[in-house]
Chains A and B, each alone.
Chain A
Amino acid sequence: MKFQREAVPEWPHQVKALPGCERIFSCIQCGTCSGTCPLSIYMDFTPRRIMSLLREGFRNEALSSETIWLCASCYACTAHCPQDIHITDVMYSLKREAIKNNLYPKRFPIPVLAREFYAIVKSRGRNWETLLVLRMALRSNPFILLGMVKSGWHLLRTGRLGFSGEKIRNPKELQREITIPKEAV
């Protein structure tokens, strides 16, 4: 059961101001997003319910849900939404806010993957898949590497395992570009 007093009424309005999230209040709760989402059956809240929680201001529930991490960004909901709500972008906003507030479920290595990916690309300019998988495993659960031995061997055998990651010529330039201090809005 949810009580109105647990809600943060101004939160949905803050989210609405973010790019891609303008139309959240147009949701008619039809459930097309949940129906078209290949992952909704594995979620704790379906996308339709997340939209509902969001609009009513149940911030804690929405941000600590597993749903936002199961979202694989396939944009099916966005493409099908009859109200033209960019649900994938809403999910992205929730992910960002959850990471910022340390609210994500600890057993999911997705935020870890995202962070490691972020760091690798920032320092090299390009992703290096092998390093990414290793770093993710070390930061979350090193035992998952055991399960990867077989697929790793297949990739090695077929020459698909990258041993030397590529870099751009001047990663510093890129770091400068993506870390400009933001002016006050």
Chain B
Amino acid sequence: MSTTKPTQKSYLYFPGCSLRATGKAYEESMLELFQRLEVPLEELDDWNCCGATSYMAIDEDSAFMLSARNLSLAHQAGGGRDLLAPCAACYLVLRKTQDYAQKYPSIGREVADSLKTAHLPAMNSVKVRHPLEMLYNDVGVEKLRGKVARHWHGGHIACYYGCQTVRPYSEVDKAYNPTRMDELLRAVGIPTVDYSLKTKCCGGSLTGTIHDVGIRLNYVLLKEAVRKGAQAIVTICPLCQFNLDTYQSEISKQTKEHFDIPVFYLTQLLGWAVGGDVDKLGLQRGVSGRKAIKDWMMSHEGVESYV
């Protein structure tokens, strides 16, 4: 793997609605990590919501048009830059729109017409990418290893990839058995466990709609992680993080089993390992496992240098 990159590529960044509310820690830690890695990032100006799964369920055409506007704005922003979408739903919907507009001429035409009505330029080809895949391919395991500034003394981690980031319009990783998150974390010295449910769905918004079923799904995920020896879970989706993190006390009460483990974003762990400012990683925003987060990541302030 080559470690010499002439000039650092810059990226457009599509936060999505969750990263501005419940998933704030994802955005904070990602910005901090990318700053440490010296990767320039520019937020897509005036982006709109991707529509997630709800729009698809009501009106497919509108769903595609919402994404088309974002893709058009990204094209307009220029530089042939790739668009980074950290949220699983945003990533999937943006890529699905491109896929369908290409595969079905009728959809492609409709999308083009609607953009014209709104006086927006055509969406053309913008590459939509996920931070995990970008960190793996563009930054690379070796570079990350070289940047390590802190020594991990916390527990083992279960890497939970979730559903929409790895399927089916995705280039993030293998759909069946993704391993890139494990590779990245191990490279910075954080041990991971073999987690068999890594792509089983957390239910997404089901925790808010059909609550009991949503809770049950997350219970299974937590229980399996703990059974495999994990003392924390790491995710790359704001909804997975939200579900696994905020419902632990309720799950514990319902099942009479005790769950209180931290649920991180990948960018928080990597950002911490490469020496990111502990206050800028959104670590205080975790609901569960707050003691572990403090012990592992926030207390040893005179952090030992690795090299």
Which of A38, A73, A122, A166 contacts B53, CB < 8 Å? Answer: A73
**What sequence of 0s and 1s flags, for each residue 28-63 of chain B, a beta carbon within 8 Å of any chain A beta carbon?**
000000000000000000111101111111111110
Measured between beta carbons, the chain B residues less than 8 angstroms from A109 are 209
Inter-chain CA distance A108–B214, complex, in Å, is 13
How near does chain B come to A153, taking the closest CB pair, in angstroms? 10
How near does chain B come to A180, taking the closest CB pair, in angstroms? 5
B284 touches A38 (CB 8 A): no
Stretch of B162-170, B225-233, B265-273 lying at the A interface: B162-170
How near does chain A come to B35, taking the closest CB pair, in angstroms? 21
Inter-chain CA distance A78–B96, complex, in Å, is 13
Measured between beta carbons, the chain A residues less than 8 angstroms from B65 are 177-178
A73 touches B164 (CB 8 A): yes
The verdict on A82 contacting chain B, using a C-beta distance below 8 Å, is no
A160 touches B285 (CB 8 A): yes
Number of residues from A at the complex interface, CB < 8 A: 61
Which of A38, A75, A115, A182 contacts B58, CB < 8 Å? Answer: A115
Stretch of B106-114, B130-138, B297-305 lying at the A interface: B106-114
For chain B, what secondary structure do more than half of its interface residues adopt (helix, strand, loop), or is it mixed? Answer: helix
A113 touches B54 (CB 8 A): yes
Stretch of B2-10, B15-23, B143-151 lying at the A interface: B15-23
Measured between beta carbons, the chain B residues less than 8 angstroms from A74 are 163-164, 167, 201, 204
The verdict on A125 contacting chain B, using a C-beta distance below 8 Å, is yes
Inter-chain CA distance A168–B60, complex, in Å, is 21
Which of A111, A144, A185 contacts B211, CB < 8 Å? Answer: A144
The verdict on B210 contacting chain A, using a C-beta distance below 8 Å, is yes
A176 touches B117 (CB 8 A): yes
The verdict on A28 contacting chain B, using a C-beta distance below 8 Å, is no
Give the contact-size bracket for chain B: 35 or more
Inter-chain CA distance A162–B25, complex, in Å, is 13
**What sequence of 0s and 1s flags, for each residue 82-104 of chain B, a beta carbon within 8 Å of any chain A beta carbon?**
00000000001000000010011
Inter-chain CA distance A7–B130, complex, in Å, is 44
Docked complex: A110-157 residues within 8 A CB-CB of B: 110-111, 113-115, 117-118, 121-122, 125-130, 133, 136, 144, 147, 150-151, 154-155
B246 touches A75 (CB 8 A): no
Measured between beta carbons, the chain B residues less than 8 angstroms from A147 are 211
Q: List 21 A-B contacts (CB under 8 A).
A: A19-B104, A38-B217, A39-B206, A42-B213, A73-B204, A74-B163, A74-B167, A74-B201, A96-B59, A111-B57, A118-B62, A127-B18, A127-B52, A150-B249, A161-B22, A162-B22, A166-B17, A173-B119, A177-B69, A180-B110, A182-B61
What is A's interface to B at a CB cutoff of 8 Å? 19-20, 38-39, 42, 69-70, 72-76, 78-79, 86, 92, 95-96, 99, 108-111, 113-115, 117-118, 121-122, 125-130, 133, 136, 144, 147, 150-151, 154-155, 158-162, 166, 168-169, 173-174, 176-180, 182, 185
The 4 A-B residue pairs whose C-beta atoms are closest, nearest first, are: A74-B201, A74-B163, A162-B21, A177-B118
Task: For the A-B complex with A118-B55, A154-B246, A180-B110 known, give 17 more contacts whose Cβ atoms are closer than 8 Å.
Answer: A42-B213, A42-B216, A76-B200, A99-B57, A113-B205, A126-B17, A129-B18, A151-B287, A155-B287, A161-B22, A162-B20, A162-B22, A168-B48, A176-B117, A177-B69, A180-B113, A180-B117
